Amino acid sequence: MLRDKVLLGALAGIFANFVMEIPELILWKMKILSHPLFHYLGSLFMPVETSHHIYLGEVMGFVGTKVYGAFLGVVFIIFLTYSGYRFVLSKGLLYGAFLWLFSYGGLASIPIVKLSTTYPRMPLENLLFFLLHLLFGFTLGLFIKVCADADNRPRT
């Protein structure tokens, strides 16, 4: 199953998303982050008022982050196919930094994401989300590195 690049990328993305969500949820419960990323994604589908209700907005956001994580994992595998598997952890960190800039800085700022227009993001939150995205990229690279080592995939 993990020889298939699409499935490997999807599983790596979902796993990396789970790893990123653990400190994210801790920071949110400690009230250091005003909203986790699944609230932003939930506000894409639901009104802002429902993004805090576990039955509606949080479930939609949680499922959405897993689908987006799977997609990002597949994109990372495609990137590795063309660039090679050498330095996969460093490539994962660079990918995480790019995702912070593109996803959190760009996509989350457009008006269709209702939560972004309602609640301003603070500088500390931006820094913490940068670190969380680095964790996502590093975990993505680590998962793929472990699977590639187990599969004896050549590093080109």
Q: How far is CA 28 from CA 22, 56, 74, in A?
A: 10, 19, 28
How many structural domains are present in the chain? 1
Asked, for residue 106, whether it belongs to a domain, the answer is yes
Q: How far is the C-alpha of 10 from the C-alpha of 32, rounded, in Å?
A: 30
Select the highest-mean-pLDDT range: 3-12, 18-27, 118-127: 18-27
Average pLDDT across the chain, whole number? 84
Q: Is residue 133 part of a domain?
A: yes
pTM of the model: 0.87
Q: Which pLDDT tens digit goes with each residue over 96-124? A: 999 999 888 887 777 666 666 666 777 88
Closest CA to 121 of 9, 58, 32, 61: 32
The range of the structural domain enclosing residue 70 comes to: 5-151
Asked if residue 156 belongs to a domain, the reply is: no
